[in-house]
Amino acid sequence: MNYRHAYHAGNFADVLKHGLLVWIVRYLQQKDAPLCLIDTHGGAGVYDLGGTEARKTGEAAGGVLRIAEASDRPAVIEPYRQLVGGANEAGAMTRYPGSPWLMAAMLRKQDRAIVGELNGEDVAALRAALAGFERVRVMEGDGYAMLQKIVPPREKRGLVLIDPPFEASDEFETLAQAIIATHAKWPTGVYVIWYPLKDDAAVERFHAELLNARLAKMLNITLDVGAADEGLRACGLVVINPPWILEKEWREALAWLARTLARGANAASRMEWLVP
């Protein structure tokens, strides 16, 4: 499998992942203390929604474009919507900013971001997309290996986004090992880990590995848009050390996302503590 996010930019999974990412960072920025934001699998940075890849799948139409057109958006979604709008000219939605761009756009003068990417072509695009931002470092290479080298950051506070392409058959195992090793070095960081919901047994094993490592405070969030086709219909996020008000603030918003982004009658969302 050769995964390229340009085909999927702005889909329902991006809305969930990036909506929560933006909200968590803004919550952490309520304190003046500096943050280090880390993205292990950065991709190309910004994606053309009018490009050949995006138009081939049309996934943004069932994701970010529905969010942009909705008139009843929950307040917790609004910071994400505003940032995505800021990556576009007024009145148009032609570009979708990935997580590195969103992180860079949120940086204060005391914050910094570190972004990893393995694909050389995407590294070049990523550096071009982030050229206008300060305090952002792009590192070419394996994101998991990079993570081990840079934590704990000097800021002590911050967030790690791990959003692998799931190209490898053992991605869940590699992901679990990376989380456990990184958490041992930086137990106070906030971790946001995305995964596809296609193989229930693999997801259960992934969760079990994290539980066996006795990591504290793990919240699991899932969104299923109920699609009948063979594409991705559901995904999840494990959030380690989530802000204490995340569950309260986002429960109704998740239900709203399931309704708004539904592609079938069985659309649903779920939020549960793996470790309270």
Q: Which of 142, 117, 143, 118 is nearest to 130 (CA)?
A: 117
pLDDT at 3: 57
Of the listed 163, 170, 224, 229, which one is catalytic? 163
Query: What is the pLDDT, as a whole number, of residue 1?
Result: 37
Contact 110, 153 (CB under 8 A): no
- Predicted local distance difference test score (pLDDT) of residue 231: 85
Pick from 39, 20, 27, 162: which is nearest to 77 by CA? Answer: 20
Number of structural domains in the chain: 1
189 and 181 Cβ atoms separated by less than 8 Å: no
Sign of the torsion formed by the C-alpha atoms of 166, 167, 169 and 171: negative
Domain range for 148: 5-275
List for the chain the helix, strand, coil content (%; round to 5). 40, 20, 40
Q: Is the pTM of this model over 0.95?
A: yes
Helix 12-28 and helix 99-106, axial crossing angle in degrees, nearest 10? 20
The set of residues, in sequence order, having a beta carbon less than 8 Å from that of 62 and lying 6+ positions away, is 11, 12, 225, 261, 263
The domain that holds 241 is classified in CATH as 3.40.50.150
Contact status, residue 101 vs residue 45, Cβ threshold 8 Å: yes
pLDDT at 90: 81
* Angstrom distances, CA of residue 247 to CA of 9, 111, 221: 26, 26, 10
My answer on whether omega of the bond before 152 falls inside 30° of 0, hence cis, is yes
Identify the pLDDT of residue 252: 97
CA angle 208, 246, 113 (to 5 degrees): 85
Tokens 């290479």, residue located: 141
For the question of residue 200 being annotated catalytic, the response is: no
Six-digit token string for 33: 């203390």
Q: Which of 213, 216, 209 is nearest to 195 (CA)?
A: 209
pLDDT along the chain (276 residues), means of 10: 76 98 98 98 96 91 96 97 93 93 98 97 97 97 97 98 95 98 98 97 98 96 91 96 97 98 96 96
| Nearest Cα residue to 107 out of 134, 75, 137 | 134
